[in-house]
């Protein structure tokens, strides 16, 4: 499945990208689609069989599953 994770800071996006990559998850950093967020401007796009929330930085904003219809919110950080 394809996911997009948004963050409050660039550093959180970078940390998450590094954690995902170190775990063997196919991931890349990209500009955040404006329809999702305007927080830090950087998101992490990744492919994995689950959302892998445990590999994402604590400054996570939200995780979306990418579908043919668009982005579906599957997790929103309450902090």
Residue 79 has pLDDT above 70, yes or no: no
Nearest to 57 by CA among 36, 42, 37, 72: 42
Sheet with 60-67, edge to edge strand ranges: 26-31, 42-47, 2-7, 60-67, 70-76
The residues spanned by each domain of the chain are 2-76
Taking a C-beta distance cutoff of 8 angstroms, is the pair 49, 33 a contact? Answer: no
pLDDT band at 76 (very low <50, low <70, confident <90, very high): very high
Length of the chain (residues): 79
pLDDT tens string 9-48: 999 999 999 999 999 999 999 998 878 866 678 999 999 9
pTM of the predicted protein model:
0.91
At CB < 8 A and 24+ separation, what contacts does 18-21 make? 19/55, 19/56, 19/57, 20/44, 20/46, 20/48, 20/52, 20/55, 20/56
């Amino acid at each position: 499945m394809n996911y997009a994770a948004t963050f409050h800071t660039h550093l959180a996006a970078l940390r998450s990208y590094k954690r995902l990559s170190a775990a063997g998850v196919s991931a890349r950093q990209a500009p955040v689609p404006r329809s999702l967020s305007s927080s830090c401007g950087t998101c992490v796009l990744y492919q994995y069989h689950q959302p892998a929330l445990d590999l994402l930085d604590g400054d996570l904003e939200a995780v979306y599953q990418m579908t043919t219809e668009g982005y579906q919110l599957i997790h929103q950080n309450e902090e």
